[in-house]
């Protein structure tokens, strides 16, 4: 009888816990629904009421959330000078952010109020589809993008970042086609896909029809002798392309992926890749890396931004110039401070001050066109290579902006839903591909 009673009580406690969690989740979603109809100023009033004297916990792939939070607090203090909020911002390494959020989601009321997170594939399958994270669309962000918050279909982007093809130009070698980076003997420097999972999403996205078309068009522009090198691989992938249900140019995408995975020289971080390429000794080497890394190059006799070229900026370049991935913003479904989370998210996406922590560098583009325009007015990234005398000293640092990269630069842009849809097919196939490393080549 005692054992039976304990079982009943245990089941009752579990049921109560589930019910409590469910009610709390509904409360968060209800708050978001209300918040999407409110201006930043109205949200700020709610945040002040909710979190004055509290501690705000955030978690993100970007450390700059820690930089943005104090300016957000200062903004709230312009409305209520007595307002004060402590904060803690965590940046987990090695893709542990998903584990942290999953563990935190098991609590009736979580620790983390919101998150800034990347890797659309895992966000879609592990965070959004499971209800761990909720999308909040700020009213003013929606208006700036010509949509309504209620009708917007997708995650909220803080920014688009780009990784672009660069090559050392101290020698005679020219990379004027995206297929040159997977040609025989080419080993571009690239962060391993297991070190930064968005690199795997880049490979998945190449199979999307519009991007596979980029590859087909670039292939058609190659000289016949270069086509002859790639054609057997393309022909060999026709069967897999059909099996995976890809479009008419799917074989070109799979061939490129196979050649890329077999060719790239794996590195642990984009910073060292940049420092390698801008050195005069790195003649003819190439890489695919975060564009903004050029900002930190210290010029010397041997090291210069002028030792590299951004492939897509060169006249006559064919094919895609790099890939773009996003930092997304979410309210946790069991957020302890949902109003404050919504206000902070709105602040980062609807004001130049809120986006400044990211906007001060080239290669990161606000998803709000009005904010992006203000950031460009402040920092003039399009003339990032100009010196005080008005001379274009470092042309590679002249950021041509989001619209140019997405259209003229043919950036491969991450689509979370598409990545998740091909994860089982293309993703499983990618996992089986052999990979070259610089260390293996040296043995």
User: pLDDT, tens digit, for every residue of 331-369?
Assistant: 999 999 999 999 999 999 999 999 999 999 999 999 999
- Helix (H) or strand (E) segment spanning residue 167: strand 156-168
At residue 60 the predicted structure's pLDDT band, cuts being 50, 70 and 90, is very high
At residue 196 the predicted structure's pLDDT band, cuts being 50, 70 and 90, is confident
User: How many structural domains are present in the chain?
Assistant: 2
For 281, other C-beta atoms within 10 Å of its C-beta total: 11
Q: Are residues 105 and 151 in the same domain?
A: yes
Q: What percent of the chain has pLDDT over 70?
A: 93
Q: Are residues 191 and 91 in the same domain?
A: no
Q: Are residues 265 and 412 in the same domain?
A: yes
- pLDDT above 70: residue 7: no
Q: Are strands 133-134 and 189-191 parallel, antiparallel or unpaired?
A: unpaired
Would residue 380 count as lying in a domain? Answer: no
Average pLDDT over residues 272-281: 98
pLDDT for 195 = 76
pLDDT for 364 = 94
The pLDDT mean for the chain works out to: 92
Q: Are residues 175 and 153 in the same domain?
A: no
Angle subtended by helix axes 209-220 and 250-263, to nearest 10: 80
pLDDT for 434 = 81
pLDDT for 398 = 98
Q: Are residues 120 and 227 in the same domain?
A: no
pLDDT for 438 = 57
Parent domain of 143: 2-158+327-371
pLDDT for 193 = 82
Q: Are residues 172 and 141 in the same domain?
A: no
Alpha helices in 194-282 (DSSP H): 198-205, 209-220, 224-236, 238-243, 250-263, 270-277
Distance CA 271, CA 294 (A): 9
Q: Are residues 151 and 93 in the same domain?
A: yes
Instruction: List the single range of 13-17, 213-217, 430-434 with lowest mean pLDDT.
Output: 13-17
Average pLDDT over residues 202-228: 98
Instruction: Tell me which residue has tokens 């607090």.
Output: 73
Average pLDDT over residues 136-147: 98
For 311, other C-beta atoms within 10 Å of its C-beta total: 26
- pLDDT above 70: residue 274: yes
Would residue 376 count as lying in a domain? Answer: no
The reported pTM is 0.91
At residue 24 the predicted structure's pLDDT band, cuts being 50, 70 and 90, is very low
């Amino acid at each position: 009888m005692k054992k039976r009673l304990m079982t009943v009580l245990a089941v009752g406690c579990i049921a109560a816990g589930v019910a409590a969690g469910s009610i709390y989740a509904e409360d968060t979603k209800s708050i978001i629904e209300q918040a999407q109809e409110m201006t930043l100023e109205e949200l700020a009033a709610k945040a002040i009421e909710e979190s004055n004297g509290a501690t705000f916990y955030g978690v993100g792939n970007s450390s700059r959330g820690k930089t943005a939070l104090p300016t957000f607090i200062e903004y709230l203090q312009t409305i209520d000078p007595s307002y004060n909020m402590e904060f803690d911002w965590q940046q987990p390494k090695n893709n542990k952010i998903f584990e942290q959020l999953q563990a935190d989601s098991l609590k009736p009321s979580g620790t983390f109020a919101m998150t800034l997170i990347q890797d659309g594939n895992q966000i879609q399958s592990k965070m959004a589809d499971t209800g761990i994270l909720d999308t909040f669309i700020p009213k003013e962000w929606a208006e700036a993008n010509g949509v309504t918050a209620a009708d917007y279909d997708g995650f909220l982007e803080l920014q688009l970042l780009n990784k672009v093809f660069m090559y050392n130009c101290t020698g005679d070698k020219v990379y004027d086609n995206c297929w040159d980076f997977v040609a025989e003997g080419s080993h571009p420097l690239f962060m391993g896909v297991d070190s930064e999972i968005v690199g795997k999403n880049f490979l998945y996205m190449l199979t999307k029809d519009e991007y596979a078309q980029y590859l087909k068009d670039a292939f058609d522009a190659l000289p016949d002798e270069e086509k002859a090198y790639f054609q057997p691989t393309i022909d060999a992938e026709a069967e897999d392309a059909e099996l995976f249900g890809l479009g008419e140019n799917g074989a070109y995408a799979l061939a490129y992926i196979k050649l890329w995975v077999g060719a790239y020289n794996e590195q642990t971080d984009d910073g060292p890749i940049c420092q390698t390429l801008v050195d005069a000794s790195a003649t003819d080497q190439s890489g695919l890396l975060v564009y903004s890394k050029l900002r930190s190059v210290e010029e010397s006799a041997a090291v210069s931004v002028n030792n590299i070229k951004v492939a897509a900026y060169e006249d006559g370049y064919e094919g895609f110039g790099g890939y773009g991935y996003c930092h997304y913003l979410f309210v946790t479904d069991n957020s302890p401070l949902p109003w404050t989370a919504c206000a902070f998210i709105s602040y980062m996406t609807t004001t130049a001050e809120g986006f400044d922590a990211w906007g001060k560098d080239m290669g990161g583009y606000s998803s709000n066109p009005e904010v992006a325009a203000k950031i460009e007015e402040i920092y003039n990234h399009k003339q990032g290579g100009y010196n005080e005398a008005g001379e274009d000293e470092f042309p590679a640092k002249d950021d041509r902006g989001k619209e140019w990269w997405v259209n003229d630069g043919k950036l491969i842009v991450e689509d979370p839903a598409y990545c998740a849809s091909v994860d089982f097919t293309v993703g499983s196939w990618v996992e089986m591909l052999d990979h070259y490393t610089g260390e293996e080549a040296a043995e």
